[in-house]
Chains A and B, each alone.
Chain A
Amino acid sequence: MKTGLFISRARGAIGEVIDLDQLAAGYPGVDVVKTYEDFFDAREQEDLVRTITQEELDSVVLAGNSPKYYEDSLSGSLFLKELHDVGVNPNRIAYANLLEQIAYLNKDDPRAAQIKAKAYVDIAIARLRAAADVSELETAPRQAVLVIGATVAGIVAAQRLLQLGFGVHLLDRQSPPPRDFTLYTGELAPTVAWVERHPGASLVFNSEITDIDGMDGDYAVSYRTDEGDSKVFVGGIIVAISHEHDADWMAEIRPVLQIDVDADGRYRSKNPATLPVQTSAACIAVVPPHIDDSQMVRDKIAGADSAVLQIVTTLLSREVRQQVAISAVDDTACGGCGTCVKTCYFKACTVDLGRHRSVVDARRCRGCGKCVVACPTGAKDLLIDPTAAALDAIHILADTPPLDGVRILAFSCSGCGYPSLDAAGVLTKDGQAPGVPASVLPLKIRCGGRLDSQFVLEAFKRGFDAVTVIRCHEGQCHNVIGNLDMDRRLNLLREVLRAQGIDSDRLRLIDTSTIEGAGLAQDLHQLVRQVKEMRGVTHG
């Protein structure tokens, strides 16, 4: 392994709080250590890629901005693709979130920020060591799109797609004609007629979607009508139904379509600011984000345009790749008990009856990690969030000196907890949130369902005063039931803690969402006060 540690000053935002020269000097063993003014400066980015190529690096730590800059942004993900093309496997990129979660959250405590910066770079480097390369499924994208809902947005999206040469399957559970009156009486009437007459379009009414599986570029959609069961194959999916009119339908298809929701059960995009119609899958879009009757027709059309552009951008590429998030099942451990089968919400786990072994369908797998935790023999690992890396991180954080009298490990789910901490950082920078005490040490995990009870025990063994899990509100888990299963596990684990003489109150849950950063910061302040009281540490 040849590793590059790249550090960003973030145009001073990080450099003002953390002494980055001192940080960089702490890694004499790393092959290349380089500090940049800004990761998103075009010339510096070029230099970064050139350095990776010239030095033949195969693993990279990006110490600077939150991973969301790469994972929740179109250009960020294209940058990752570029790194992949120069020889860095996607799983060999690790982040140290110096900006949002250290420089912003702990801006008034430079000593703590310096210690934390070192710890989180250590964690990133340890993660590179623990992580295996991930493989990718490749598919030539199908040139057809499923549009759900014969609404204004649905009809307009269909029209755009047909005109661009894509096949369109338009599904609605109601009877024809298309439900929105304006479609027939208003200026959109010609559009409806054009779509209905187009040879590339198939309109199916009175239908019920029974199953969707697959990956970006290649989805198999099963549906049922009075005439029986049918299946269509498409490259992407546009959901064009509104929460107001079709809340129950939305709730039904949400789990199979990776659609996240907010507290009202409304669709929540991957990044409301920059990717308003995108879900966590590039080829699944929801339009418009907040469709309702008061909305202007032009807004619905603009939303449809965005969705079409987003999906077509991917479908026009020669191949679409999807990471295989989960390791192969270890045949020397798996006894085919079926626990993973009953645990998986997405029907990705099955037991091969001939071989008596569990198999994971990578096309259905969402990489939530729940089956990895549930597997009683440890026969699988979540490659994108490996067990060894989590344990390393727990050990590294346990070895940091107490920054504020106590040490609290804060597992943060990548759906809500971690982004909410990012949001708390940004709000703190803007003076709208009180920061987060330095004693709270966040550790990103894939999902609440990824939280292995052994992680919690390990944390207590290593001397953390408290462990908290920052996660999505009930019913909003990105993996639908990851949170639910975590709750069930932790309820049982509390029994173990109590029996072991560990106050089960030292294990806390905090519910949050990406728009509740300020509330989260306050909750964490309160948590630290309570933990100090519990542990007999005087307020400092």
Chain B
Amino acid sequence: MWLQGCSGCHISLLDTGDAIAEVANAANVVYTPISDERKVPKADIVLVEGAVANEENEELLTLVRKNADTVVALGTCACHGGIGGLRNLHRLDQVMTRAFLETPSTADGVVPDEGVPQLNDSVRSVREVIDVDFALPGCPPPADSIARLLAGALEGSLPELPTHNLCEECSRLRQDMLLPQRGFICDEVRAVFELDEVDPELCFLEQGVLCMGPTTQEGCGAKCPTGNMPCRGCMGPTPKAREQGCKLIDSIASILPAGAIMYLEDVVGTGYRFSLPVSICPKPTEKKEGKR
């Protein structure tokens, strides 16, 4: 099932290779976003990709919950709202105006209102709309996690997800971070491209690069830090943290020069890039005032 998403989770599902072949052997695939099936059939398990952004998403999801024994929220959009959830920073009319009337490529734009599902006022994660039985975050979730999930589902037991932050899996060296001496771990905050040389072994934070690793759930195998890029936080917050953006603020404020972060980084876009809909922040509809 594919709601508001980019289909990346489905691509990752196809990436599972042998695992998906085994599923095809052992089970009937009764519904996919690219099949002609119009109705939501009864199913033992449904994987849902994407967030709930419009009335159609909501309707489909309600049907899924009714017709499936096990519902899996697959990927960060389904679990936490995902990138598309960033539109919650704005009221719907602002979003529509921007998208259909104001973009540079627009000529004689109209806001569509017929023949298309109407967008909801705000984006919600699947978990905010229905109860799910399992949530596998990731943008997209790593193929091997999906493979484990499928293998488990075939045997009737869903796997346990790891619950630490990404630093658990990251092999980069922490030196100053572990030194019990209060203080900033670097003089300034920089983007990766501003570094003359990226130390491939040393913790990004210690190099002054804002890395979302500490505030992000493990499970991806720390792919980005291994590939010499800082974590962007796509797995979303760890289970015990209520939300990612606040945790970013509360944790880095005393280890990186906060002034520099404000100057250099889009704090909101960085902290909430993947999880704004599940933030404590009031949704646009709950606000009394508009964005200034």
Interface of A toward B, CB cutoff 8 Å: 330, 332-339, 341-345, 347, 349-351, 353, 356, 370, 373-379, 452-454, 457-458, 460-461, 481, 485, 488-489, 491-493, 495-496, 498-503
Contact = CB atoms under 8 A, between A and B. Distances in A.
Nearest to A460: B282
Nearest to A352: B178
B180 A457 contact: no
B182 A489 contact: no
A336 B251 contact: no
B62 interface: no
A491 B259 CA distance: 8
Contacts of A496: 245-246, 249, 267-268, 271-272, 281
B60 interface: no
A373 B254 CA distance: 11
Contacts of A492: 249, 253, 258, 261-262, 267
B289 A501 contact: yes
Given A461-B281, A493-B249, A502-B287, A341 B242 contact: no
Contacts of A336: 167-168
Contact of A501 (B183, B246, B250, B290): B290
Nearest to A377: B238
B165 A377 contact: yes
A379 B178 contact: no
B182 A342 contact: yes
Contacts of A379: 240
A452 B250 contact: yes
Contacts of A481: 182
B38 interface: no
- For the complex of A and B, the 4 pairs showing the least CB-CB separation, nearest first, are A338-B177, A335-B168, A378-B240, A335-B164
- Interface size of B as a range: 35 or more
Given A332-B164, A342-B181, A376-B214, 9 more contacts: A333-B163, A334-B165, A335-B167, A338-B167, A458-B280, A461-B281, A496-B271, A501-B89, A501-B291
B292 A489 contact: no
A370 B169 CA distance: 25
B24 interface: no
B254 A342 contact: yes
A373 B242 CA distance: 12
A499 B268 contact: yes
B59 interface: no
B13 interface: no
B267 to A, nearest CB: 5
21 contacts: A330-B240, A332-B163, A333-B163, A338-B174, A339-B254, A342-B179, A343-B255, A344-B180, A344-B182, A373-B250, A374-B251, A376-B214, A376-B247, A377-B247, A378-B238, A457-B279, A457-B280, A496-B267, A499-B89, A500-B282, A500-B291
Which of B89, B213, B250, B284 has the largest number of chain A CB atoms within 10 A?
B250
Given A335-B167, A356-B168, A503 B214 contact: no
B251 A376 contact: yes
B280 A374 contact: no
Contacts of A344: 180, 182
A193 to B, nearest CB: 43
Given A335-B218, A337-B165, A343 B262 contact: no
B241 interface: yes
Contact of A491 (B213, B243, B258): B258
A341 B185 CA distance: 11
B258 A500 contact: no
Contacts of B250: 373-374, 376, 452-454, 489
Contacts of A489: 249-250, 253, 258
A353 B185 CA distance: 19
A454 B165 contact: no
A302 B247 CA distance: 50
B167 A337 contact: yes
B242 A495 contact: no
Interface string B143-173: 0000000000000000000011111110000
Contact of A374 (B180, B240, B254): B254
Given A488-B253, A489-B250, A502-B287, A337 B213 contact: yes
Given A347-B181, A500-B89, A501-B290, A370 B254 contact: yes
A474 to B, nearest CB: 16
B117 interface: no
B239 interface: yes
Nearest to B279: A457
Contact of A343 (B168, B213, B238, B254): B254
A334 B214 CA distance: 9
B93 interface: no
Nearest to B216: A376
Contacts of A458: 280
Contacts of A353: 178
B72 interface: no
A356 B108 CA distance: 59
Contacts of B254: 339, 342-343, 370, 374, 485, 488
B166 A335 contact: yes
Contacts of A330: 240
A353 B175 CA distance: 11
Nearest to A462: B282
Contacts of A342: 176-177, 179, 181-185, 254-255
B215 interface: yes
B286 interface: yes
Nearest to A503: B289
Contacts of B163: 332-333
